[in-house]
Structure 1
Amino acid sequence: MTGPGLRPGGRSARVQESIHSAVRALLEEQDRSTVTVPQIAARAGVTPSTIYRRWGDLSALLADVALARMQPDSEPANTGSLRGDVQAWAEQYLDEMSSEPGRNMLRDVQSSPTPGLCVTIIGGQLQMILDRYPDQPKPGVDRLINLMAAPTVFRILFSPAPLEVEELHRLIEIAFSQ
């Protein structure tokens, strides 16, 4: 129960969504290096001090928006097999995150004042897949993150080219070998 005068999803949530929407719109219209707090505030209909008070600086706001965008819209695909589900998830993740918006989201998440949220999101998705197959031997979430997701993210952020799908498949095979 909330206290008197407090509404879940009330004014604070509306202000946050307005600011997030303004950030997303500006990032679609212009290069991210040119986006400023005053632009975001004007687009969202708030004062810049509202943004600074809530997020501290632009990088923290961009990280918050990126983390919100990284939250999955649905459960991972169900192909009918554990490896098939992991492979479908990994291919989709590689495709989405190696795009320019995906790379920018990953860069923004690096600035998050709350480390580990990206691992929590990825881990939650992978755990959903693993939970579908309770009677099958399978790798743990940490093994999948270390052998599949981590190299994928590393190559996206620090290599001129993302991981090739064939190499991703080899990493999945290694993760499943006991």
Structure 2
Amino acid sequence: MSRKPMVRPGGRSARVQEAVHTAVRELQAEVGRPELTIPLVAARAGVTPSTVYRRWGDLQELLSDVAVENLRPDTPPQDHGDLAADLRNWAEQFIEEMASPIGRAYIRDALLGAPDGDNAARCSQYAAEQIDVVLARAAERGEDAPGVELVLDRVVAPMMYRILFRPGDPAAPGAPGAPGSLTAEYARGLVQDLLDGFGAPH
């Protein structure tokens, strides 16, 4: 299933967003998150506080927007020549980035700033678009491939559940990748389990 890539703002709106996002990232590194305020961010970005309040509402919504943008992949998944290798490598990179302290912080910020679920949907779309690229390549090579939703359900969903709710727990005995927890082995096990059930070669 193909998904239309999300459209980023353009023109002055894009310049304001970039300046404010950059200011947030720089100030977090310099003074720490607890010291961040809208006026401080606005001064660094060269805009008025009212501009920031008008666009983002409050600091939590701004931090959430920055987090969602940081969770957006910069490049398409690497092509390793076959479906199994592509999915394994993508899943390994995904779990490494999302399970890191900064990855978890971005996820928390993204979800806290949008209780209506919009940011969760955007982050899910990022993953879906990446998977769609992998599956489209497999189809071009003549490989049988599962659908995007099946990969999300069987590979991404278990990883995200453990990242959010059980980051320190080992995988249950018999689970894919056991006894690891948030490891590359666990990610590879989920992919293998998916392909075993789907019947694709691996």
Please tell me the TM-score bracket, short chain as reference. Answer: 0.7 to 0.9
User: What is the CA-CA distance between 1:32 and the residue it aligns to?
Assistant: 2.5
CA root-mean-square deviation: 1.8
1:87-127 CA-to-partner distances (Å, cap 9, x unmatched) read: 11111111111222111111112135424001111000000
Q: What residue in structure 1 maps to residue 178 of structure 2?
A: none
User: How far apart, in 2, do the equivalents of 1:31 and 1:152 lie?
Assistant: 29
- Report whether the alignment pairs 1:131 with 2:117: no
Partner of 1:120: 125
Paired AA for residue 110 in structure 1 = L
In 1, are the aligned partners of 2:96 and 2:183 still within 8 Å (CA)? Answer: no
Deviation at 1:147, TM superposition (A): 1.5
Shift, 1:151, TM fit:
1.7
Q: Which has the higher contact order (CA 8 A, sep 6+)?
A: 2
C-alpha distance after superposition, 1:117-171 (max 9, x if no partner)? 0111100000000000112222211111112112212222222435222222221
Query: Which segments of 5 or more consecutive residues in structure 2 lack a partner in the other structure?
Result: 1-8, 169-180
Q: Deviations over 1:34-68 (max 9, x none)?
A: 32222211211222211110011112211211221
Q: TM-score, normalised by structure 2?
A: 0.77
Aligned match of 2:161: 154
Q: 1:173 pairs with 192, 197, 202, which one?
A: 192
**Which is further off, 120-129 or 101-110?**
101-110
Q: Is the partner of 2:112 in helix, strand or coil?
A: coil
Take 1:142 and 1:30, find their aligned partners in 2: how far apart are those partners?
41
Q: Find runs of 4+ consecutive structure 1 residues off by over 6 angstroms.
A: none
Gaps of at least 5 residues in structure 1 are: 1-7
Aligned to 1:141: 148
Counterparts in 2 of 1:104-115, with a 5 A limit? 104-113=105-114, 114-115=118-119
Q: TM-score, normalised by structure 1?
A: 0.87
Query: Structure 2 CA distance, aligned partners of 1:35 and 1:101?
Result: 17
Distance in 1 of aligned mates of 2:31 and 2:86: 36
Q: Is the 8 A contact 2:23 2:45 kept in 1?
A: yes
- Work out whether residues 96 and 184 of structure 2, in 8 Å CA contact, stay in contact via their aligned partners in 1: no
Aligned residues: 171
